[in-house]
Chains A and B, each alone.
Chain A
Amino acid sequence: MGREDLLGRAKAGETEAFEILVSEHQKYIYNVILKIVFDKEEALDLTQETLLKAYLNIKKFRGNSSIRTWLYRIAINCAIDYLRKRNVEKSNFKEIEEFENEIKDFETPEEVLDKRLTAEMLMREINKLPADYKIVLILRDIEGLNYEEISKIMNLNLGTVKSRLWRARNLLKERIKSLSEFLSLEERGQL
């Protein structure tokens, strides 16, 4: 079945067609949202919300960009909205606790621990970046989207995307450098 056909049927309100259409993207949307909001349950909810919004608004999708870009855009907006709300509520502690528990779960083999620790560490530090920088960094360096896509998703021009990305990278590097976990890793010669 052709993609255009699927899109047409999804626009007509067929849920099955829509589900097939988004099936290849939903995992990545989830990952982006997860990295932005840093909370598994919330990320799942937000992914559902994103896809629901996409379903309800699919008639407005004109095909100016790819479905992926369009979905990312909705996802980013959902995540940003959520972050705004959460910042108002100021309940960041819960996530940090959860995160620490997660680390403990992966304590068994040393290699895995080191690898995981690095990934989780990065994630935690990314989460501490300002939202604008964080999102660009996630889209570019984790999800591997190109600048043009990012500029469409975030509705920014290319120059802004690039300068934000570089600034984000530097910020992240500085944060990692200042971490005690990093220092111990460095001492063990892993870098």
Chain B
Amino acid sequence: MMECEKVLELIPQYVDDELDKTQKEELEKHLESCESCKKEYYLQKKIIKSLKNMPPIELPEDFNKKLHQKLIYHKNFLEKKKERLKKTLTIVAIATSLIFMTVFIVNTFNKSLQIESNTPLANIEMGQSYGLPQKEGANNERGLPAGTSRKITKNATISLEVEDVNGCYDKVFQLVKEAEGFIETSEETVSSDNIKRVNVVLKVREDKFESVISQIKDFGKVTALRIDSKDITDQYYDLQARLKNLEVEEQKLQDIMNKTTTVKEMLEVESEINRIRSEIESMEGQLKLWENLTSLATINLSIKEIPKDEKPLAIVSFKGIGKGIKEAFINNMNFLIFFMKKLIIILVIILPYSVLALIGYKVYIYFKKRR
């Protein structure tokens, strides 16, 4: 026989018909004999029945309208948000790719600049070195007395590599003739590995110097170029002045010579005149030399033959492209990491200020809201 307490516990399940057969039978037996439990059972049944029969409360009529508005509002909001996100993403993407591109371009440009400046004969350098004397000469002319000009000696050393040494030599010869110069020395050697080499010393007119050099440069591959210039204006005019003084002195001594009466006097004056004469002659020789040096510039030209198999065919091959790409890639990556490092440092530097700015902004919003 079941106890009332147990029965009460099982009633809800009995209502749902969830009890197994024996439990059900026992409970039914109990209910028949126990009036209070029976009452409980009817009450439970009644409660559940009234719960089931509770009519559903209808939604207000404007519910659908309100819902529709709400959904539309959120839909639009979502779409706007999406659009804004899209825009932001686009901007970020563009900015990122711009940064990458800038990094790439700057890096590549840097690289190529380095390569250019590493080649022994950069155009810029050449231009400077042989453009300089010309410019100086033109500018400094002003500081000199009228009727005088700058005296500058010019000297160039050029090494050329050509395929056809003899042809090049002929061209040089022609060029020198046109420049009213001459070939001072010429020397031809053939090395053990059958490479022909010609060394020539050219003299050309001082004002044709630059144009001759630039023409020679076009004959072949320039491997070395050196231009020297020396300003000897001061020494030249100094010597000229001294020469004049000596000539005046010589004239005076000649006058004295005419007035001498004794042989002893005559011999003394004569030896003095001879001394001055030789001095004058040596000075004149020096002046003459300088005259030559400044009116004729010297070019030491060395022409070397390029063997046929060393022709620049190899440059155009794909050999080493993999290595090149790899190097370029690693290089760019390194630069990128370097760039990122800098960026992080900048961000860290900015951080305190941005925190301040944020606080400022919050305070501003706070006061704006209060107002």
Q: Which positions in A face B, CB cutoff 8 Å?
A: 13, 15, 18-19, 23, 26-28, 30-31, 34, 44, 47-48, 51-52, 55-56, 118-119, 122-123, 137, 141-142, 144, 162, 165-166, 169-170, 172-173, 176-177, 191
A191 to B45, CA, bound (A): 10
Taking CB atoms, residues of chain A closer than 8 Å to B75 are 13, 15
Query: Are B63 and A122 neighbours in the complex by a CB distance under 8 Å?
Result: no
Closest to A51 in B: B67
Q: Which 4 A-B pairs have the closest CB atoms?
A: A166-B12, A169-B12, A141-B51, A15-B71
Query: Are A173 and B47 neighbours in the complex by a CB distance under 8 Å?
Result: yes
Please tell me which one of the listed residues A48, A55, A56, A173 contacts residue B66 in the complex, with CB atoms under 8 A apart: A48
Interface residues of B in 23-59 (CB under 8 A from A): 40, 42-44, 46-48, 50-52, 54, 56-59
Q: Which positions in B face A, CB cutoff 8 Å?
A: 8-9, 11-13, 15, 18, 40, 42-44, 46-48, 50-52, 54, 56-60, 63-64, 66-68, 70-72, 74-75, 78
Taking CB atoms, residues of chain A closer than 8 Å to B57 are 30-31, 34
- B7 to chain A minimum Cβ distance, whole angstroms, is 11
Query: Are A170 and B11 neighbours in the complex by a CB distance under 8 Å?
Result: yes
Query: Are A191 and B42 neighbours in the complex by a CB distance under 8 Å?
Result: yes
Taking CB atoms, residues of chain B closer than 8 Å to A141 are 48, 51-52
Q: A27-B56, A28-B56 are in contact. Are A169 and B70 (CB under 8 A)?
A: no
A60 to B47, CA, bound (A): 39
20 A-B pairs besides A27-B56, A162-B13, A169-B44 with CB distance below 8 A are A13-B75, A15-B71, A15-B72, A19-B64, A19-B67, A26-B63, A27-B58, A31-B57, A48-B70, A52-B74, A119-B50, A119-B54, A122-B54, A123-B54, A142-B54, A165-B12, A166-B9, A166-B12, A169-B47, A173-B40
Query: Are B67 and A48 neighbours in the complex by a CB distance under 8 Å?
Result: yes
Query: Are B74 and A27 neighbours in the complex by a CB distance under 8 Å?
Result: no
Query: Are A176 and B68 neighbours in the complex by a CB distance under 8 Å?
Result: no
A172 to B43, CA, bound (A): 11
Query: Are B66 and A122 neighbours in the complex by a CB distance under 8 Å?
Result: no
Query: Are A170 and B8 neighbours in the complex by a CB distance under 8 Å?
Result: yes
Interface centre among A30, A56, A169, A191 (most CB of B within 10 A): A169
Please tell me which one of the listed residues B13, B51, B64, B71 contacts residue A142 in the complex, with CB atoms under 8 A apart: B51
Query: Are A170 and B52 neighbours in the complex by a CB distance under 8 Å?
Result: no
Q: A18-B71, A48-B67 are in contact. Are A56 and B78 (CB under 8 A)?
A: yes
Taking CB atoms, residues of chain B closer than 8 Å to A165 are 12
Please tell me which one of the listed residues B9, B54, B59, B74 contacts residue A56 in the complex, with CB atoms under 8 A apart: B74
A48 to B64, CA, bound (A): 9
Taking CB atoms, residues of chain A closer than 8 Å to B47 are 122, 169, 172-173, 176
Taking CB atoms, residues of chain A closer than 8 Å to B44 are 169-170, 173
Q: A30-B59, A51-B67, A173-B40 are in contact. Are A166 and B50 (CB under 8 A)?
A: no
Please tell me which one of the listed residues B42, B50, B67 contacts residue A118 in the complex, with CB atoms under 8 A apart: B50
Query: Are A170 and B63 neighbours in the complex by a CB distance under 8 Å?
Result: no
Closest to B40 in A: A173
A23 to B65, CA, bound (A): 12
A182 to B64, CA, bound (A): 38
Q: A56-B78, A118-B50 are in contact. Are A173 and B43 (CB under 8 A)?
A: yes
Taking CB atoms, residues of chain B closer than 8 Å to A30 are 57, 59, 63
Q: A44-B60, A144-B52 are in contact. Are A15 and B43 (CB under 8 A)?
A: no
- B26 to chain A minimum Cβ distance, whole angstroms, is 17
A34 to B40, CA, bound (A): 28
Closest to A177 in B: B43
Taking CB atoms, residues of chain A closer than 8 Å to B42 are 191
Query: Are B71 and A19 neighbours in the complex by a CB distance under 8 Å?
Result: yes
A15 to B198, CA, bound (A): 93
Taking CB atoms, residues of chain A closer than 8 Å to B59 are 26-27, 30, 44, 47
- B75 to chain A minimum Cβ distance, whole angstroms, is 6
Query: Are A31 and B74 neighbours in the complex by a CB distance under 8 Å?
Result: no
A55 to B60, CA, bound (A): 20
A133 to B43, CA, bound (A): 19
